[in-house]
Structure 1
């Protein structure tokens, strides 16, 4: 009972992202056939892309792949970007989205790397680092490059 009152007093918008006509929030998932992840100068393929727009000012870009060193391990690389320039990247309806951008660019604020075993359980603690870099969409390709403060370089090239 106190939580709704507190939210009203704080002037917090609690509207659901699933309200009809809401075109700013949701998720886009797709398989990839031409994708490479480079992590600490090691390269591996990636098979899936997920774009999640959870606010009007940011986008989470997540790539899924299989470790080349250990075939039973899967990896997940995530970039978080601020607002992008160019076309809106997603067009969403009731939380379901389609890729709408032909050109887009967003500044990376953080990156995250995690490995999973064959049962889907995380191996160790995910590494989440403040990072600088950029993700772009151009000519049917999504490209992301980042560098964290400790020097770790991450990059991805994927055909959309």
Structure 2
């Protein structure tokens, strides 16, 4: 139920928002993007980079599953330690610092989605050991966990 006093507020909200410029998040369609999960190499079409706290960074490598019409997502969370975050945002305008940076990974998460965008089960999220690298051309992550196959992803910026 919409109250009459709310109607003018709806006119103030822009009709379209550029999803690539969401607050503290950058979305990118890299020319080349691959991820490896359980020894299987998969293509990815999108990369989402978002701030995770004051010194953390979340990287989401997202691909489309042509067989099912769904998608999949491999996420890495890293901690930048004493370095500043490589994601610099001014309001909704975000960019990645092209300096060569590396950081320690904290966790990985793997999840599949059906054609409606609903998750197929719970994400396989694990504490991980590994590294994240960023340079002028490439963003990559590699993780290793006990008793779990390694996961990695790389995207050309």
TM (norm. structure 1) is 0.76
State the 1:73 CA deviation. Answer: 2.5
Whether contact under 8 Å (2:79, 2:105) holds in the other structure is yes
Moved more, 82-91 or 51-60: 82-91
State the SS of the aligned residue for 1:49. Answer: strand
State the 1:95 CA deviation. Answer: 4.4
Distance 1:115 1:51, change over 3 A: same
Within the candidate set 36, 42, 45, 2:43 is matched to 45
Q: Distance between the aligned counterparts of 2:116 and 2:128, measured in 1?
A: 30
Whether contact under 8 Å (2:39, 2:149) holds in the other structure is no
Whether contact under 8 Å (1:85, 1:106) holds in the other structure is no
Structure 2: segments with no counterpart, 5+ residues: 1-22
Whether contact under 8 Å (2:98, 2:136) holds in the other structure is no
- State whether structure 2 residue 110 is matched by structure 1 residue 113: yes
Output one character per residue of 1:47-88: Cα deviation in whole Å (capped at 9) or x when no partner. 1111111322211111101236x3422101110001157674
| Cross-structure match for 1:20 | none
Whether contact under 8 Å (2:74, 2:109) holds in the other structure is yes
The total of aligned residue pairs comes to 135
State the 1:149 CA deviation. Answer: 2.5
Q: Distance between the aligned counterparts of 2:33 and 2:132, measured in 1?
A: 14
Which of the pair is proportionally richer in strand?
Answer: 1
State the 1:92 CA deviation. Answer: 0.6
Aligned residue runs from structure 1 range 1-160, under 5 A: 26-67=24-65, 70-83=67-80, 88-160=85-157
Whether contact under 8 Å (1:142, 1:158) holds in the other structure is yes
